A and B are shown apart, each in its own frame.
Chain A
Amino acid sequence: AQSVTQLDSQVPVFEEAPVELRCNYSSSVSVYLFWYVQYPNQGLQLLLKYLSGSTLVESINGFEAEFKKSETSFHLTKPSAHMSDAAEYFCAVSVKQGAQKLVFGQGTRLTINP
């Protein structure tokens, strides 16, 4: 079975400061990795994903994540935070074969201070 651990339940940063949201996973088979963002009372929006190929993946709004297999990590980073980045972020994994069920981490609430 797969599991995902998001090490921080809350991450406060100042506006324009760098952001790092940590994600570690556990799996005995190869996985796909995802980061989702959730704004209050809304569903999930896909931020970025790693399926194969380059281990560094980027989103359109400046976030990026690097898949490090040796560390079983997929940390999300952004060099400069904006107020609009404040939200809940979920890391998730799915196995490469089968029903592609997603297993989510506990979530990290990113707050941006002016």
Chain B
Amino acid sequence: GAVVSQHPSRVICKSGTSVKIECRSLDFQATTMFWYRQFPKQSLMLMATSNEGSKATYEQGVEKDKFLINHASLTLSTLTVTSAHPEDSSFYICSATATGREQFFGPGTRLTVL
């Protein structure tokens, strides 16, 4: 299967700072990337869908000004959590796909906001 990486795997930051998470498709060109959020012992909730070269489409209830998504190339999408607060602490997972292919998931990034 295809490989998707995320960086960093774990990040701790102070309240009010911004954090950037990278998602890369290592061996294929991803036309679409998805960002999910997972709270402890809960399911994955889709935050946004990101298509290369265009603005991300956010799910209802997700603040686009707080969770900035950039998909500048076919192998890289970034999620920036701006002015992070403790309630933003969560496990963030990305996935990548190409036309006609399934989603391939990254290993996740655990964000802890102090």
A-B contact count (CB 8 A): 50
- The 8 Å CB contact of A104, one of B44, B57, B107, B108, is B44
CB proximity of B25 to chain A, nearest CB, Å: 13
**A83 contacts chain B at the CB level, 8 A cutoff:** no
If A41-B110, A42-B108 touch, does A104 touch B43 (CB 8 Å cutoff)?
yes
Q: How far is it, in angstroms, between the C-alpha of A45 and the C-alpha of B81 when the chains are bound?
A: 25
**A90 contacts chain B at the CB level, 8 A cutoff:** yes
Number of interface residues of A (CB under 8 A): 19
Number of interface residues of B (CB under 8 A): 25
**A46 contacts chain B at the CB level, 8 A cutoff:** yes
- The 8 Å CB contact of A107, one of B43, B57, B97, B104, is B43
**B54 contacts chain A at the CB level, 8 A cutoff:** no
- The 8 Å CB contact of A99, one of B32, B44, B107, is B32
Q: Which 5 A-B pairs have the closest CB atoms?
A: A44-B105, A43-B105, A43-B107, A104-B43, A43-B108
Instruction: List chain B positions with a Cβ less than 8 A from chain A.
Output: 1, 4, 6, 32, 34, 41-46, 49, 57, 91, 93, 95, 97, 102-108, 110
